[in-house]
Structure formats: structure tokens, C-alpha cells
Amino acid sequence: MKDEPIGKGVKKFTSVDGETFDAGEPLVLEQSTLLGDVVRRYSHNRAAMAALFILLFMIIYSTVGPWLRPWSFDEGLYSNPSLIPYQLPNLAHWFGTDQNGRDLFVRLAMGGRVSLLIAFAATGIVLVIGVLYGSLAGFIGGKTDEVMMRFVDVLYGLPYLPFAIILLVILGAGIVPMLLALAVVSWLTPSRLVRGQMLTLKQNEYVEAARALGATRGRIIFRHLLPNTLGIIVVAMFLEVPGMILGEATLSFLGLGISSPDASWGTLASEGWKALRSHPWMIILPGIFIAVTVLCFNFVGDGFRDAIDPRTKETK
């Protein structure tokens, strides 16, 4: 990872409301220039660029992978007796076959679709809830803020995984229950983050100005305040996705994932774990896919954060 020298343009940190997340004073720049700067700075970050390309490759693989091979993801030895279970990676089956003779190249691609879809969708849900909740609390302030944040505090006390497990048992296996289980506690951090930003932003003169001109609350939030928090929201998104991928995989590994013949990287790893002794590649392959994707999201997230606000560099 290439670093710019520290100290250049670094300002003193002001703690936002005692929260652990410091984002500094928000940049208030003209949008187009900001975007241009971000792209320029990002493209200079070699590690982040490499990660972005690998991610794109993963997405392409997940999208077109199932069509590259003649077998479907759920085609096993019953419908096609020529499929032999537990083949090592070979010329026909690039990643080998599983216990039912299903092609793992195709299944890993399908698993990628499910895992990435769940991760993106859950992140989306989390951000929408978190941003709305956080900006409302931050903007309204006062007693409302106090009550809303106390509620967040209560939920922070919930142990995440145990509740996700109970929820999944209630809702049953499937993509939607998995989304809910992942999203239900994860919106807390973004909401705190956005609230902190709001508290700082709303003291700016232009907010006063807009208010004086008779703008409604909604208009102020959506037109003036949210666009200025976009940066940290984007960064939060990229940093949230890997957590979602790992969360989905972890729950699937414990046997709470989507049901066979559908697959996600987590359920594939779980199937691989059952065959660890004789067919270790069955767990190693999904493991590599999960780890590489998580790694790349982290790099991309860091890259974006640095590009959006170079001052926060190296302080995470």
C-alpha cells in the first residue's frame, strides 16, 4: 500500500460528541470538483485499484460463471449419471465436483451471486435505516434525539450472533430471513455515524440560511445535509459489505443458511467442512473466495475513505 507522507494537510481532530468515530469537519465543496478529486486520488492508490479490479472480476464470475460450463448448479448424478462425486479439480470440472457430483465451478459462481446479493442488499437496508434514523435523530435533536439514541444504546447491548441465530430459526432458511437477520442489528453503527455528522453539519450557516428562507425539515435534510454526509456513507457501505459477507457465511456455516440445492459461499464452506478429511479443497475454495472478496472490499473501502477525505488517512 502506498502512503502519502503523514502530516501534509492533517488538521487536529475534534471529537464528535464523544463517539468513537471521528470524521472531522465535513468537507463542503462543490460536488463535481469533489467527485473529480475522489476519482483522481483513488486511481493513484494502486492497492485499492487492484482490489477494485478483483472485485469486478468476482462480480463478473458470479454473473456469467454459471453459463460458462455445460452443467446447471443443481445438476447432480441423478439427472446426469456421468457426473462423478468428489472429483478433484480437472480439465472438465475446473474446481472439481461435490458430494452429489455437482460442478463446483458453477456452484461457486451461484454461491457468489447469493452471497454478494445478500451482502449488498443487507448493506442497503442497513444504510437506509441507519441514515434515516441517524439523520432524524441528529437533525431534530433535543429530547427526541435523546430517546432515539437511548433506544440504539439498548440495541447495542444485544449480542448480535445469538439474536441472528434465534431470528433465523423463527423465520426459517432463505434469502429474505438471512437479510433480516443480518440487517436487524447492523444499522446501529451507521445511524450513530450519521447522527454525529448531522449534529456538526446543522450548525453550519447555510442550514440557518435555508431555515430562514422557510425550507422544510425534510428539504433541509435531503437537499443540504445528506449530500454532505454522502462521503462517509459510501465509505461505511464498503466497510459494511465485508461484515455482511462474513456474517452470512458464519450463519450458514452453523447450518442456518439457505437450503440445498441453492448455495452461498457460506453453505459451500459448510458442505466442505463435512468432507474436510478427504476433500479439503471443498472448504478451501469457498474460503479463498470469501477471504479475497472481504479483503478487496476492505481495500476499496479504505481507498475510498482516503480519496474522499485524505485527512482521515492512517487514523483508522
The residue ranges that bind another protein (CB under 8 A) are 1, 3, 6-7, 10, 15, 17-18, 20, 74, 76-79, 85-86, 99-100, 153-154, 156-163, 165-167, 169-170, 172-173, 242, 246, 249-250, 253-256, 259-261, 269-271, 273-280, 283-284, 287, 290-292, 294-295, 298-299, 314-316
> Please, what is the minimum distance in Å from the beta carbon of residue 233 to another protein?
20
> Please, what is the minimum distance in Å from the beta carbon of residue 247 to another protein?
8
How remote is the C-alpha of 183 from its chain's centroid?
Answer: 11
In one letter, which amino acid is 154? V
Alpha-carbon dihedral angle through residues 300, 301, 306, 307, given to the nearest 10 degrees? 60
Among the listed residues 251, 59, 275, 91, the one whose alpha carbon sits nearest the alpha carbon of residue 173: 251
CB hemisphere CA count around 79 (13 angstroms) = 7
In the complex with another protein, which residue's Cβ is closer, 70 or 280? 280
In one letter, which amino acid is 280? P
Q: What is the DSSP letter of 16?
A: S
In the complex with another protein, which residue's Cβ is closer, 86 or 120? 86
> Please, what is the minimum distance in Å from the beta carbon of residue 82 to another protein?
14
Q: Find out whether 107 and 115 touch, Cβ atoms under 8 Å.
A: no
Compute the distance between CA of residue 103 and CA of residue 76 in angstroms, rounded to an integer: 8
> Please, what is the minimum distance in Å from the beta carbon of residue 36 to another protein?
27
> Please, what is the minimum distance in Å from the beta carbon of residue 280 to another protein?
6
In the complex with another protein, which residue's Cβ is closer, 139 or 265? 265
Compute the distance between CA of residue 19 and CA of residue 200 in angstroms, rounded to an integer: 13
What is residue 252's three-state secondary structure?
helix
> Please, what is the minimum distance in Å from the beta carbon of residue 12 to another protein?
10
In the complex with another protein, which residue's Cβ is closer, 228 or 253? 253
In the complex with another protein, which residue's Cβ is closer, 164 or 194? 164
Compute the distance between CA of residue 87 and CA of residue 80 in angstroms, rounded to an integer: 15
In the complex with another protein, which residue's Cβ is closer, 15 or 63? 15
Compute the distance between CA of residue 15 and CA of residue 235 in angstroms, rounded to an integer: 19
> Please, what is the minimum distance in Å from the beta carbon of residue 222 to another protein?
27
In the complex with another protein, which residue's Cβ is closer, 19 or 37? 19
CB count, 10 Å around CB of 155?
15
